[in-house]
Amino acid sequence: MIRALTLILLCQLAGEAVVRALGFPVPGPVIGMALLWALMTASTYIAELVRPVAETLLRHLSLLFVPAGVGVVGHLTQLGAQTFALAVAILVSTALAIVAGAWTFVAVARLTGSEDA
């Protein structure tokens, strides 16, 4: 477990360093994810090593958003007079984006014959 955690943190650290050094517009952990994916693809030993720890972390991914969510409650007043407009914009645009994205996926999958086997 400790080796897997070390490797995950090393990937994150490398990702943060790359982002800082090259000024990428993405967060370090996203680069770290790409790096770990490349390492797993290169070595089944690494893939099997990391898998159980990663799956444990991801099983409770929701928990990790709780502290940030609590922070938002205190800042809801910041929305001020525009609260209603912003709430409507978020609700409607999120619904539209989900449906548009999912329908596009299904339609293009049908066109390109990449339906799920």
Partner 1 sequence: MPDFADIWSYLAQGPLVWLTLTLVAYVAGDAIAEATNRAPLANSVLIAVSLLAVMLWITETPYAVYFEGAQFVHFLLGPATVALAVPLYLQSSRLKRAIVPVLAALGVGSIVAVGSALFIAQALGVELDVLASLAPKSTTAPVAIGIAQGLGGSPTLAAVLVILTGITGALIATPLLNAARVKDWRARGLAVGVAAHGIGTARAFQVHPTAGAFAGIGMGLNAILTAMVAPTILRLFS
**Is-contact 35 14, C-beta < 8 A?**
yes
Size of the site for partner 1 (CB under 8 A): 79
Q: Is 101 in the site for partner 1 (CB under 8 A)?
A: yes
**Least separation in angstroms between CB 2 and partner 1:** 13
Q: Is 5 in the site for partner 1 (CB under 8 A)?
A: yes
Torsion over CA: 25, 20, 61, 7 (sign): positive
Contacts with partner 1 in 41-100 (CB under 8 A)? 41, 47, 50-51, 53-55, 57-76, 78-79, 82, 84-100
Q: Is 109 in the site for partner 1 (CB under 8 A)?
A: yes
Q: Is 21 in the site for partner 1 (CB under 8 A)?
A: no
Can you read off the two tokens belonging to residue 90?
């978020």
DSSP 3-state of 9: helix
What radius of gyration, in Å, describes the C-alpha atoms of the chain? 20
